[in-house]
Chain A
């Protein structure tokens, strides 16, 4: 009797320990809690639609970067607006040593598009007084007219502009302004009902999962170091990515996409913990919903959930601010190199500069597509970055004409534009308190001052 009691309690302890570990480190699996569900599903986690959209976005980036310049945007638009055909995945594609399970978008989720989930509010950062969706279509149209998505005249790199803007206007916007905002209200998608008729997940469970899906982390991202997450996103380590050890990388749960990749990339500096902070908030929130066992959430539970959502929202915003900071620094450094470059080096350096500017502009537009109205900060940021970079003849895009073509009727010096970049970095520090500060333009200055360490009681005679 005594012996069996010990065995039983040991077993209970062991199983709680195991469940505990699984719960603490992975996003899912979580049991089905919908009342009256008769199906055979055991795991209520589902965010394949979001993964499909990451794949659509990555594929658009690749396609924009391979444009032939003939002006036919139909292929990119297929990936943007969705297609009745089963579209092949163009990126991320498997390679030797990093085999990917899915080859087509439908293998992940059927009938998905980006256009239906794209921020459609005003976008003052782009010329032409357009909404978010109009802006990205404008970009796609012009991308098709360029060779490889690069327009040396305006200084636009469309692959970068579109993909970075999408990270905000789709992923960040949908997560923080929809699923972690409206959908957390008591009257929206309640937890005591399935998300939609017949679904194996409740309203709140699925809302939360969708937000997590948009973030783009792998289910096991919390188990991984910043560097490991980075290696997975870059397809450099299949062993780390392949969580279930089946020899292939399942895009549905084992890949790191978009925003999550950037969170980890900044954490690599050792100064921040963006990825674990966001992952932990997502996991804790999901556990809280699961613990309600299919009942409607109490006000207290929802308040807790909203606190997790707030953590996710502010940390995510900081990740985007870090990206703006980083690329403002890259642009600053690129100009420095261009200044002293010989003519035969210039073309290559200019291409790099345009790429970095595209990332800067894209992220600066992304951070404005969330829930928060950035007000003065947005106005200041848009003014500093401008509609386009200073190009090789000192001209830059100042607007669009009635036909939607870019106007370039002003000039600015490279030095002035460098100063703008330093001010963008300062704005990110002052407004968002960014900490990783990659490519800090005034880093040397601060370092030197610290080294010399002036003190108040300077010696006098």
Chain B
């Protein structure tokens, strides 16, 4: 009886993200996304209410083979996270190391700014957390696309041929580890520096337990990024915030869209580093990967195993290259000794 209860409980906890306001797929945010999509389709795209609903709840999207694979990957990844312990321990280690190191700096001292107005401290902390988190997301995401070893892992996410809010979970478990480490590092730096400088007053402005800025990101339709509803902003706004349409461009198969719009919430990073692509309100995009990528939108075995094979192949190629240059070096050394010998022999 107890065992059955436990199984039922564990089963429900697989879906706990839907009732957790810290998560993007929280049911409240999903409903708001539908509402925003409706407004967009009715008032901007001039669709009737019926048509708008039909467009939002498009069977071809939500029951596509790619989407079905998303759902399965969601479950498998949730199960995998059960077995991998949380990263909190590493995060504490990172934060503590930085906290310790700050004490040895002569130009600052612990609690140096602890008498600053509390509201200012909290605002600064809230904004810093959001900015650093968003910037490191941009950076790691960029590396995921530019470094072949990481692209092998990140491809899983881009193999989706239709986008639904659940596509956010379509990632290879190794990417999950990388992203969590990024979070641990980014938060570790900000938290330890703030607590060192400002002391006990440090805390976040939150709504339902979430950083208020992250909350704003979610209630303004963060779920629409992975969807077929292509909402664009005014071009000036797309230089600051990434619109759903801009992120959809990031998933586009078209060559001119490659390596564009890496940003999470803010597009300023893309703007600064030259990877910004403004959306077009009538864009018709095809999502997924080029055939040359040898990935699959639906084959789970391929999705989970290909990254390992490709990593091994890349490493093999790399080691062969290193070995070849080492051999070359030995050969040229041998030749020069040879030459020297014969030169000396001739002299003698």
Q: Which residue of B lies closest to A416 (CB)?
A: B104
Interface segment, one of A48-56, A242-250, A369-377, A443-451: A443-451
Number of residues of chain A lying within 8 A (CB) of chain B: 31
- Mark out the residues of chain A between 435 and 454 whose CB falls within 8 Å of any chain B CB in the assembled complex: 442, 444-446, 448-454
Interface segment, one of B172-180, B271-279, B334-342: B172-180
Given A453-B22, A460-B157: A415 and B104 interface contact (C-beta under 8 Å): yes
Q: Which residues of B contact A458 (CB under 8 A)?
A: 176, 179-180, 182-183
Task: Please state if A335 and B84 are interface contacts (CB–CB under 8 Å).
Answer: no
Interface segment, one of B93-101, B230-238, B302-310: B93-101
Task: Please state if B81 and A455 are interface contacts (CB–CB under 8 Å).
Answer: yes
Q: Could you give, for residues 103-117 of chain B, a 1 whenever the CB lies within 8 Å of some chain A CB and a 0 otherwise? A: 111101111101100
Q: Which residue of A lies closest to B84 (CB)?
A: A456
For the complex, is B21 an interface residue (Cβ under 8 Å from A)?
A: no
Task: Please state if A415 and B184 are interface contacts (CB–CB under 8 Å).
Answer: no
- Mark out the residues of chain B between 64 and 91 whose CB falls within 8 Å of any chain A CB in the assembled complex: 77-78, 81, 84, 86-88, 91
Q: Could you give, for residues 391-416 of chain A, a 1 whenever the CB lies within 8 Å of some chain B CB and a 0 otherwise? A: 00000000000000000000001111
Task: Please state if A457 and B180 are interface contacts (CB–CB under 8 Å).
Answer: yes
Q: Which residues of A contact B219 (CB under 8 A)?
A: none
Main secondary structure of the interface of A (DSSP, over half): helix
| A223–B106 CA distance with the chains assembled, in angstroms | 52
**Partner pick for B110 among A339, A452, A453, A457, CB 8 A cutoff:** A339
Q: Which residues of A contact B225 (CB under 8 A)?
A: 461
Task: Please state if A444 and B200 are interface contacts (CB–CB under 8 Å).
Answer: yes
- Measured between C-beta atoms, what is the minimum distance from A196 to chain B in Å? 55
| A416–B141 CA distance with the chains assembled, in angstroms | 38
- Measured between C-beta atoms, what is the minimum distance from B13 to chain A in Å? 13
Q: Which residues of A contact B177 (CB under 8 A)?
A: 456
Q: Which residue of A lies closest to B107 (CB)?
A: A415
Q: Which residues of B contact A332 (CB under 8 A)?
A: 110
For the complex, is B239 an interface residue (Cβ under 8 Å from A)?
A: no
- Measured between C-beta atoms, what is the minimum distance from A450 to chain B in Å? 7
Task: Please state if B169 and A461 are interface contacts (CB–CB under 8 Å).
Answer: no
For the complex, is B195 an interface residue (Cβ under 8 Å from A)?
A: yes
What band does the interface of chain B fall in when counting residues whose beta carbon is under 8 Å from A?
35 or more
**Partner pick for A460 among B105, B115, B168, B188, CB 8 A cutoff:** B168
- Measured between C-beta atoms, what is the minimum distance from B156 to chain A in Å? 10
Task: Please state if A413 and B106 are interface contacts (CB–CB under 8 Å).
Answer: yes
Task: Please state if B105 and A448 are interface contacts (CB–CB under 8 Å).
Answer: no
- Measured between C-beta atoms, what is the minimum distance from A325 to chain B in Å? 16
Task: Please state if B105 and A415 are interface contacts (CB–CB under 8 Å).
Answer: yes
Task: Please state if B264 and A418 are interface contacts (CB–CB under 8 Å).
Answer: no
Task: Please state if A454 and B180 are interface contacts (CB–CB under 8 Å).
Answer: yes
| A310–B49 CA distance with the chains assembled, in angstroms | 77
Task: Please state if A422 and B87 are interface contacts (CB–CB under 8 Å).
Answer: no
For the complex, is A419 an interface residue (Cβ under 8 Å from B)?
A: yes
| A459–B195 CA distance with the chains assembled, in angstroms | 26
Task: Please state if B250 and A461 are interface contacts (CB–CB under 8 Å).
Answer: yes
Q: Which residues of B contact A448 (CB under 8 A)?
A: 191, 195, 202-203
Task: Please state if B104 and A340 are interface contacts (CB–CB under 8 Å).
Answer: no
| A413–B108 CA distance with the chains assembled, in angstroms | 11
Task: Please state if B81 and A445 are interface contacts (CB–CB under 8 Å).
Answer: no
Q: Could you give, for residues 235-278 of chain A, a 1 whenever the CB lies within 8 Å of some chain B CB and a 0 otherwise? A: 00000000000000000000000000000000000000000000
Given A340-B111, A414-B109, A445-B95: A457 and B169 interface contact (C-beta under 8 Å): yes
Given A336-B199, A339-B109, A461-B247: A415 and B180 interface contact (C-beta under 8 Å): no
For the complex, is B192 an interface residue (Cβ under 8 Å from A)?
A: yes
Task: Please state if A445 and B264 are interface contacts (CB–CB under 8 Å).
Answer: no
Give residues in B with beta carbon < 8 Å to A: 22-24, 77-78, 81, 84, 86-88, 91-92, 95-96, 99-100, 103-106, 108-112, 114-115, 137, 141, 157, 168-169, 171, 175-177, 179-180, 182-184, 187-188, 191-192, 195, 199-200, 202-204, 225, 247, 250, 264
**Supplied contacts A416-B103, A459-B23, A461-B157, 19 more A-B pairs, CB within 8 Å:** A335-B110, A339-B109, A339-B110, A340-B112, A340-B115, A419-B103, A444-B195, A444-B200, A445-B96, A445-B192, A448-B191, A449-B92, A451-B204, A454-B86, A454-B88, A460-B175, A461-B168, A461-B250, A461-B264
Give residues in A with beta carbon < 8 Å to B: 332, 335-336, 339-340, 413-416, 418-419, 422-423, 442, 444-446, 448-461
- Ordered by A's residue number, 19 sampled pairs between the chains whose C-beta atoms are within 8 Å are A414-B109, A415-B103, A415-B104, A415-B105, A415-B108, A418-B103, A422-B99, A442-B96, A444-B200, A445-B191, A449-B92, A453-B88, A455-B86, A455-B180, A456-B84, A457-B77, A457-B81, A458-B182, A460-B168
